[in-house]
Amino acid sequence: MEKYEDALVMLQDSVLLFKISGLPLGIAGVLELAGYAYAKKGDLLGAKIAYKEAKKQYDGLEETSQIKERSHNCEENLRKIEEGDMELNDIFAENRAWSNWFSYYMPQAWFAPLRNRTREQQRREH
């Protein structure tokens, strides 16, 4: 569980970096990954909030087949959570594909300053 807490701290920082950089697709992707992390740790309310926000971000972007697919994925995960028929393995499989795409397009240099900060520093700032 602790690794998902660490991931969520990194994802929060990532949202800030994308906001500063003016990259709404990055914000949407990070929020979608946060939904995955919340679901993985069993926090379905957190997952629901993250997926709603991700969908809202995707829906505000120029529609492409990939954006449409990501928005639909968020919508499906929300439906599964709200209807209580959520299969975590379904969500995880869908998000593994997205995280592979996301990691390809994420410049690792953006995250170097974040990786160098201690967990305690990150907690004090939030």
Find all residues with CB under 8 Å of 1, minimum gap 6, and list them: 41
Return per-residue pLDDT of the chain as tens, 126 residues. 568 788 888 888 888 888 888 889 989 999 999 998 888 888 889 999 999 999 999 999 999 999 999 999 999 999 988 887 655 555 555 555 455 545 544 444 444 444 444 455 556 665
Find all residues with CB under 8 Å of 117, minimum gap 6, and list them: none
Task: State residue 43 phi and psi, 5-degree precision.
Answer: -95, 85
E strands of the chain, at which residues?
none
User: Residue 117 has what DSSP assignment?
Assistant: S
- Tell me the C-alpha distance between 120 and 46, whole Å: 22
Q: What is the pTM of this model?
A: 0.69
User: Residue 63 has what DSSP assignment?
Assistant: P
Instruction: Report the helix count and the strand count for the chain, using DSSP H and E.
Output: 7, 0
- Residue indicated by tokens 């990532």: 14
- Tell me the C-alpha distance between 25 and 115, whole Å: 22
